[in-house]
Amino acid sequence: MTDTSSPPLWVKSSYSDSNGGQCVEWAPSHASATGVVPVRDSKHPDGPVLMLSLEAFAGLVTFARTADVG
């Protein structure tokens, strides 16, 4: 069981590049424990956190996979 009272362990998305652009992080252990997926911009770790349902997060991932970024 994950302690949800401690700060979440953030993981950089595989969709983020290594040059500092499109840096999205999420907290999978928090999502697993609560069913709510926190998402943030890694360039602004003290900034706002988007809290998504599992279904909404799945939709975001699907969008990221299919989006035309060119």
* Structural domain boundaries, residue 27: 11-66
Residue 3 lies in a domain: no
Q: What percent of the chain has pLDDT over 70?
A: 77
- The residue with greater pLDDT, 37 or 21, is 37
Does 4 fall in a domain? no
Query: Burial of 41 by CB count in 10 Å (0-12 exposed, 13-18 middle, 19+ buried)?
Result: middle
**Above pLDDT 90, what percent of the chain?**
51
Q: How many CB atoms lie within 10 A of CB 48?
A: 9
Is residue 51 domain-resident?
yes
Over the stretch 15-30, which tens digit does the pLDDT of each residue have? 666 665 668 899 999 9
pTM of model > 0.85: no
What is the rounded average pLDDT of the residues 43-66? Answer: 92
